[in-house]
Structure 1
Amino acid sequence: MKKMYASLTVIMAIVLVLAGCSTNSNKEAGANNKGDGTGKITIGLSVSTQNNPFFVTLKDGAEKAAKEAGATLVVVDAQDDTAKQISGIEDLIQKKVSVILINPTDSDAIVTAVESANKANIPVITVDRAANGGEVVTHIASDNVNGGKMAGEYILKALGDKGNLVELQGIAGTSAANDRGQGFHEAVDGKDGVKVIASQPADFDRAKGLSVMENILQGNKDIGAVFAHNDEMALGAVQAIQASGQKILVVGFDATDDAVKAVNDGQMAATVAQKPASIGETAVKTALQVLKGETVEKSIAVELELITKK
């Protein structure tokens, strides 16, 4: 009997030790997470699309920071497909990466992937667009609400607080589209003499920006300005406007190379400059802090500025 009690005591002690290990905080998990057990830090980056120059630059910034830190960056391209993004993140989880950076295609749909990473004890950081659920260590992005407001205020000043406005929205459900739209409407709604006559999605895509703007122009001949939630849609709108022979002020968002050139050439009036390379670099540097067990802010903002013709 004494031997039986002794055995039970040992078993109970083992159970208690294991239970204690399972209650480690995320901070401790981050500090001890060395990926596949080789000791090398591997950072996963799930990007919404590599067809958009903004996200290519963001990826380049992340790669630069990872290389400087001696870490490996594994990039998966969702190609603006939510199912493909979730699958790509599952692959990163299977590879036992140390931390996952996620630029969601859809802030709601990405929640299941974030939760999968949480279950695997892999820290998650969202980049440019937020996730509407799951446990995220921090969100790194420009202040999109403020950026939309900057665009709206610039348009009001340029038009003298009067005129018909068009809004080209990004992908429905993304935090970037929601926030930029919110800021824009905070600036222009309720102003006497100003009316948003069309607010339609063009999914952050240049070709869709062109086709949506063509349709809007067919039904509206008195448009003062267009605000597009990103430069790709803005550049598509510029094509449609030029073909129509009208003169309409166009403001974009991102300050991609093509858009800045269009501003300097007088084809676009302005673009709100995010700094995608800085967002990517900041994401990687923050990931390394998390893996060291350091405390980081729940939201990290990257500077914005309005770019107009030099």
Structure 2
Amino acid sequence: MRSLIRPLVAVVAVVTLAAGCASKAPSASGGSGAGGKKQFVVGYSQSNNAEPYRAQLNLQLEYFMKQHPDMKLLPIADAHQSSATQVSQVQNFIQQKVDVLIVSPNEPAPLTAAVQQACQAKIPVIILDRSVNTDCYTSFIGGDNYEIGKLAGQEAVKQLPNGGNVVELRGIMSDQPQIDRDKGFRDAVKANPKIKIVADREAKWLKDSAVPIMQQWLSKYPKIDLVYGHNDPMTLGAYLAAKAQHRESQIKFIGIDGLAIPDGGIRAVQLGELTSTFVYPTCAKEAADTAYAIAHGQQVGKKQVLHTTQVTKENAAQLYKQYDMSGKISG
């Protein structure tokens, strides 16, 4: 089993934005900070703070933004997995005339018009993790979800050399990461025709949603060999359901996120709850640095694709130490 996955190539291409898109440094609307220097105001609309990955992203973004004294991050707006709420939040940030807007879209289509409104208002927009149906933004930052799904599928093929029954817990069906993680996985498991995906359901990225779904599957299918979850919380929800029926030892569990937190995916691999997971970068440092660059008139990549690393029993301890930011954040 490979312990480290070849990094995905970071795409940092400088692109001239279409007319009407915000591509130049904004004026400082935040007033003066310490020492009389101008402060640039950043607004961030998060899709759902209840997801551990996004809660960690928030904490890291606050930390990394503080490394730039002339950048002011407003209180993070939580959309609570409601696209209507998030549209309202984005429009509110536009009315406040923030200097840079960061959005982690709950769903692509509903947020598209709101992002275009920001663009028309000459507010630079950074899109994190999930796409929108417009090119009128300044920079997209995220991982290659198709590639991560493909790597998860390749791991499934390794874990099930003789084939077997797989169940798949999916994120929000309209989200591009869900679409890509599903397609990558399915393309990869075609390498072994004896692997059958017998069931898949939307669990909306949430552990609490995954538990009852897995309970139903355990009742319906006497033989489940592997669970593929589009994130670690859903996969761990499936693990808990299987453990309650004393079937966890018969099943392999593969997730995505790989957070270095006590109840995250890396620790779950160490504990033997997950067979493997894949680190999906929070994008927090890149978002803070990109916001700073935009505010100071520097050119940034239109698309920034971050690499992933596979977490296995062999490298989990080392990766936990590498990605753990608890000391910095709490300090």
TM-score band by shorter chain is 0.7 to 0.9
Indicate the residue corresponding to 1:95 in structure 2. Answer: 96
Q: Give the CA deviation at 1:156.
A: 0.8
Pair 1:308 & 2:307 matched: no
Q: 1:295 aligns with which of 294, 299, 302?
A: 299
Indicate the residue corresponding to 2:280 in structure 1. Answer: 274
CA distance in 1, matches of 2:134, 2:245: 44
Q: Which has the higher contact order (CA 8 A, sep 6+)?
A: 2
CA distance in 2, matches of 1:24, 1:252: 40
Secondary structure of the structure 2 residue equivalent to 1:275: coil
Q: Give the CA deviation at 1:35.
A: 2.9
Residues 115-141 of structure 1 show CA distances to partners (whole Å, capped at 9, x for unaligned) of 121122111111011112251111101
Distance 1:161 1:114, change over 3 A: farther
Superposition pairs for residues 130-279 of structure 1, below 5 Å?
A: 130-133=131-134, 135-189=136-190, 191-246=192-247, 247-256=250-259, 257=261, 258=263, 259-276=265-282, 279=283
* CA RMSD after TM alignment: 1.7
Distance 1:185 1:147, change over 3 A: same
Gap regions ≥5 residues in structure 1: 1-22
Indicate the residue corresponding to 2:27 in structure 1. Answer: 33
Q: Give the CA deviation at 1:24.
A: 8.0
CA distance in 1, matches of 2:180, 2:131: 10
2:287 alignment partner AA:
A
Secondary structure of the structure 2 residue equivalent to 1:284: helix
Secondary structure of the structure 1 residue equivalent to 2:43: strand
Q: Give the CA deviation at 1:33.
A: 2.9
CA distance in 1, matches of 2:127, 2:158: 34
CA contact (8 A) 1:36 1:96 kept: no
TM-score normalized by the length of structure 2: 0.82
Distance 1:269 1:24, change over 3 A: closer
TM-score normalized by the length of structure 1: 0.87
Gap regions ≥5 residues in structure 2: 1-18, 33-37, 315-331
Percent identity between the two aligned chains: 30
Indicate the residue corresponding to 2:318 in structure 1. Answer: none
CA distance in 1, matches of 2:51, 2:135: 27
Which protein has the larger Cα radius of gyration, Structure 1 or Structure 2? Answer: 1
**Number of matched pairs:** 284
Secondary structure of the structure 2 residue equivalent to 1:290: helix
Q: Give the CA deviation at 1:253.
A: 0.6
CA distance in 2, matches of 1:221, 1:189: 23
CA contact (8 A) 2:21 2:138 kept: no
CA distance in 2, matches of 1:175, 1:128: 9
Residues 266-294 of structure 1 show CA distances to partners (whole Å, capped at 9, x for unaligned) of 11111111221xx1110121122222332
CA distance in 1, matches of 2:25, 2:98: 13
CA distance in 2, matches of 1:293, 1:116: 21
